[in-house]
Structure 1
Amino acid sequence: MDRIEEFRQDERVSMPLAEAGWESQGELFPVTQNLPVPVPGYLPVAAEPAAEPAILVENLGKQYGSQWAVDDVSFSVPRGATVGLLGGNGAGKTTTIAMIMGLVIPTIGRASVLGHDMARSRFKVLKRMNFESPYVAMPAKLSVRENLTVFGRLYGVPQLKSRITELVEEFDLGDVLDQATGQLSAGQKTRVSVAKALLNDPEVLLLDEPTASLDPDRAEWVRACLRKYQRRRNAAILLSSHNMHEVEELCDYVVIMSYGRIAEIGAPQELIRRYECDSLDEVFFVIAREQEEGEGEHWQDDAS
């Protein structure tokens, strides 16, 4: 399958998978909407106006039938920042990312990337962003070299051969360059996927489990490559990961979602202090438990 088909009201839209693979660079800067109390230290204090965020999510919502997969979510990602988008299964992360990429049309609200509403004008920014997920397979019969070449041409990368050579060296892919991608190990596929994501030198990068299937040394090496890239490009990164050690290491802020809404937002170390926990992992479980108890009370109220 090399295309994604999407239903928008009565219209079916078909698009190449390559278009769905754009990654975005941008910085995520939290806002306090949907929080019970203001979050100290996260709003700009300088008198001069802040630069426009790379990713801006405003009152975003998506309804399927009577169910809200995402319900009134707002946050932003500044340039040069990494923001973690966290949550358990069914929290709404995937739908939120799909709306940020312009693949799903919001029911309410807006997702903007580099100043463009992605539901209306995403094609204006696709070459400036990219997306990485080890769970989105590249054509298995093509070699690593062929895959990088095809995606590079789709992205319109100048001096493509030189760019591929740089990334092959950086991600240590020389030994597998002419192997069929489908024959690679899971860890090798992950490195190819990250290299593909950086081909077009994106300003906005969406990362989904960027170190999945990698051993600890390789994972740390990939994280170092991403930090180096971000510093050079001043890129904005939105990171979705279940690896809380990775989130603590990479993210300036985290947005924790539950039942389609924002449950918490803040810097990892600030959340650890606020919840009096030893790690972000522990914070995540405390919030998840609180949300489950609250949702249970909600259903009891509805039934009474």
Structure 2
Amino acid sequence: MSPPSSAPPAIVVAGLAKTYGNVQAVAGIDFTVPQGSVTALLGGNGAGKTTTIAMLLGLLKPSGGDITVLSTDMLRNRHAVLPRLNFSSPYVDLPHRLTVQQNLRVFAQLYDVPEPKQRIAQLAQKLDFTTLLDRPAGALSAGQKTRVALAKALINSPELLLLDEPTASLDPDTADWVRGLLEDYRAERGATIMLASHNMAEVERLCDQVLMMKQGRIVDRGTPAELIQRYGRDDLEEVFLDIARGRGKAATQAQAETAA
């Protein structure tokens, strides 16, 4: 269900840029993420997705532009809004020597979560890793790490959830179950979700809006259905390949966006 039109956007980005020497990782992008929506940030490796998410989290300082998250200026007052958001990536390891429970307890304390023991137990049951709570994080399989990383991201019941490959390394059944969990969380919490994923079927299922990035720019945007229709394709994976390879309408669109 779409959020009310009167609700302020969860994220507003204007002219956002990041350069490293002569390399322009993000080239002055603009986008808005409505409250309560799910938005996908898509693109090939090196498109600028991770850099963009890092700037949204306040981990990287932009070279230019503005970021407003939950009505807060992230460049001037990010500490005021950080407790209301969270992030997950299966590619960011938790300390290996700490057990799963110890790791989650640290994050619960950082976010000042009330009754942390109960919250951890609740998430472990919901994400099916109760038997892993006393296992060192370094001894987890890739799929187990993904589930624990998602629990870490949900520990503070965030209003804004930023996810990098939320179902990476999960088997199809578990991945489908996690998508259902995210849909339920969004509905129950009224949360906003922004995710990067290479699973286009996942994006088609979960997302209200797609932002397609290439070489640091947003070269197209729309709902999954709009993009599929615009490119005359059967699914979003074919659209992604058109844009990544600069084929047909994708090439024309990218050139127009670059010129603008």
TM-score relative to the length of structure 1: 0.79
Q: Which residue of structure 1 lines up, in the alignment, with residue 69 of structure 2?
A: 113
The one of 205, 214, 229 equivalent to 1:273 is 229
What letter is aligned with 1:216?
P
Q: Aligned to 1:238, which of 194, 199, 204? A: 194
* 2:174 aligned partner, one-letter code: R
Distance in 2 (alpha carbons) for counterparts of 1:109 and 1:50: 25
27, 30, 34: which is aligned to 1:78?
A: 34
CA contact (8 A) 2:243 2:251 kept: no
- Take 1:86 and 1:197, find their aligned partners in 2: how far apart are those partners? 20
Is the contact made by 1:133 and 1:207 (CA closer than 8 Å) also made in structure 2?
Answer: yes
Deviation at 1:289, TM superposition (A): 2.0
| Letter aligned with residue 78 of structure 1 | P
Deviation for aligned residue 1:260 = 0.7
In structure 2, what is the Cα distance between the partners aligned to 1:64 and 1:179? 40
Partner of residue 215 from structure 1, selected from 165, 171, 182: 171
Gaps spanning 5+ residues in structure 2: where? Answer: 256-260
Distance 2:23 2:142 in 1: 35
Structure 1: tracts of 5 or more residues without a match = 1-27, 30-43, 298-304
- Within the candidate set 161, 185, 193, 1:205 is matched to 161
Aligned residues: 253
Distance in 1 of aligned mates of 2:162 and 2:58:
13
The offset of 1:108, in angstroms, is 1.5
What TM-score do the two structures reach when normalised by structure 2?
0.92
Tell me the CA shift for residue 150 of structure 1: 0.9
RMSD, aligned α-carbons:
2.2
1:96-144 deviation line (CA, Å, top 9, x unaligned)? 1111111111122111111112122111011100000000000111111
Partner residue in 1 for 2:137: 181
2:23 is aligned, of 52, 67, 73, to: 67
Check if 1:263 corresponds to 2:219.
yes
Q: What is the identity, as a one-letter code, of the residue corresponding to 1:224?
A: G
**Aligned amino acid, residue 199 of structure 2:** N
The code of the aligned residue for 1:169 comes to: Q
**In structure 2, distance between residues paired with 1:175 and 1:187:** 14
Greater Rg by CA: 1
- Paired with 1:293 and 1:227, the residues of 2 have a C-alpha distance of 33
Q: Please give the per-residue CA displacement for 1:216-267, whole angstroms capped at 9, x wherever unaligned.
A: 0000011111111111111111100011111111111100001111110000
